[in-house]
Structure 1
Amino acid sequence: MGDDKTQQWMNKLVGKKISEEPSSETTFCKTELPQESRVIEPGMMVTKDFKPDRLNVHVNDDGTVSHVTHG
């Protein structure tokens, strides 16, 4: 995925919490993430396989999105 796509997701998600509820100013509904995505919590073990279309959503301890990557 290109940097443009990653930046678009950064703009949508950083500073928000991922939730099961509809998206709002402070939350983003998990069902609106791409099918090929994963939410990565601090200390969480993840596979190292590289999938260029997969959106990796990194969250802080409080569940707030800190950054996103593709891969």
Structure 2
Amino acid sequence: MTTPDPSLELLRKVRAAFVLKDSTLKAWCRQNGIHMTNARNALIGSWNGPAGQAMRRRVVKASGLKDSA
């Protein structure tokens, strides 16, 4: 899986994907011991180093979005 480009739109798509799974991004973060701020910053690109990109891949995969997100 390639790392999707960060953007506010990606954050919105991920949040919507979690809602479609009857969950939320916040709930997923809590269940996985991740600070919501870190997940958000990775998705919008404020945290875009190797660790941020890995976090973005992990969150996008967990949300169920396809590579074309």
Which TM-score applies when normalising by structure 1? 0.29
Higher helix share: 2
- Specify which structure has the bigger relative contact order, considering alpha-carbon pairs within 8 angstroms and separated by 6 or more residues: 2
Higher strand share: 1
Which structure is larger by alpha-carbon Rg, 1 or 2? Answer: 1
Which TM-score applies when normalising by structure 2? 0.30
